[in-house]
Amino acid sequence: MADTTASRAIQVGISACLMGEQVRYNGGHKRSRYCLEVLQECFAFEPFCPELEAGLGVPREPIRLVGSIGEPPRVKGTVDSSLDVTERLREVGEAFVESHRHLRGFILMKGSPSCGLERVKVYHDNGMPSHADSGLFVRVLREHFPELPLEEEARMNDAVLRENFITRVFAFDDWKRHVEEAKAFHALIQFHSRQKYLLMAHHVEAYRELGRYLGSEAHTQPLEKVKLRYLQRFMAALSRPATRKTHTNALMHVLGYLKQAVDGEVKQDLLQAVEEYRLGHVHLAVPVRLLNHYVKRHGSDYVRQQTYLDPHPYELGLRNTI
């Protein structure tokens, strides 16, 4: 379950301009109130600007992605097209990954030719728009650190995407603390056990696939190889936002562990709460809080340890809006 103690602030990277640092090409910033006033309660932010790190200075000539569909875009100056900082930015990104493996996530600046997660405009050499891609720094992160949760600050205005990103950060933190350095297969089994219904709510096929893998093939392979394969599949599965249908499925599985422990009236109350959520009449927090109440009193150790019931700090109110 999510650890919220001050000493356990989770290390998350963030585009420096979102922290209010004046590092943009025009000397400005894009300070994020949500990151600084809400998320900073549980995240220890580590600001980073790849363009500044690449020596471009402030203020600086704006840069943009340039290229054609089917080829990796280059990063060039908007005024002086001979200014090509592609290799410098790639080197900065690779050095960042090498020295920041401790991070649990990264919050990015929308539309940036370095930090944009998606839909960043790519231009032809003649200055006309061609298509859209990710910023170069993001492409390096995905290439060398694919399990790292990424999200744009602007996309977190969407309640589902916001909850999904923060869920992934806390799940990755669980992995980092309990599995990454573990020398025993049992640590991975325990992780899978407590993340089981969270995984089910996001990607039921991956839930089944990883369960089969750990139950058979994984025992014949080196532990580090097994952990790498598991982690990349697990994090990729969690990146798929859960839906009302998949949440309802997970809720019903949790409810199954209480059927023999509670009386008929309580069981009907629980079923009604899940059904009201499925129909869109209430938010996810309603059935989850009710289930949590009875799981803590009547559930087995197995179901009480499920991170699905408490994947992130309750104070963030993330499930009050989905």
Question: Are 215 and 260 spatial neighbours (Cβ–Cβ below 8 Å)?
Answer: no
Question: What distances in angstroms separate CA 90 from CA 114, 250, 267, one per listed residue?
Answer: 9, 41, 56
Mean pLDDT of the 286-308 span: 95
pLDDT at 9: 87
Residue-level pLDDT at 2: 54
| Percent helix / strand / coil, the chain, rounded to 5 | 55, 10, 35
Q: What is the mean pLDDT of residues 231-235?
A: 98
Of 109, 150, 18, 129, the C-alpha closest to 64 is: 129
Query: 3-class SS at 270?
Result: helix
Residue position matching structure tokens 């000493």? 7
- The arithmetic mean of pLDDT across residues 286-295, rounded, is 96
| Tens of pLDDT, residues 162-188 | 999 999 999 999 999 999 999 999 999
What pLDDT was estimated at residue 4? 45
Res 259: pLDDT = 84
Tell me what percent of the residues of the chain surpass a pLDDT of 70. Answer: 98
**How crowded is the C-beta side of 170, counted as CA atoms within 13 Å?**
23
Q: Residue 87 — pLDDT band, cuts 50, 70, 90?
A: very high
> Would the pLDDT of 5 be above 50?
no
143, pLDDT greater than 90:
yes
- In this structure, of 64-73, 96-105, 231-240, the range with the lowest mean pLDDT score is 64-73
Nearest to 2 by CA among 199, 240, 194: 194
Mean pLDDT of the 61-88 span: 95
Contacts of 52 (CB under 8 A, 6+ apart): 16, 23, 58
Choose among 182, 240, 190, 234: nearest CA to 210.
Answer: 234
**Per-residue pLDDT tens digits for 129-140:** 999 999 999 999
pTM metric for this prediction: 0.94
Question: Between these two residues, 1 and 273, which has the higher pLDDT value?
Answer: 273
Question: What is the structure's pLDDT at 260?
Answer: 86
Question: Which tokens hold the place of 254?
Answer: 């949790």
Q: Report helix, strand or coil for 43.
A: strand
Mean pLDDT computed over every residue of the chain = 95
Q: Hey, what are 275's tokens?
A: 């059904």
Q: What is the mean pLDDT of residues 1-13?
A: 68
- Tokens 């290390």 -> residue: 11
Residue 318 half-sphere exposure toward CB, CA atoms < 13 A: 21
Residue with tokens 């600046």: 109
Cα angle vertex 132, ends 131, 136, to 5°?
Answer: 125
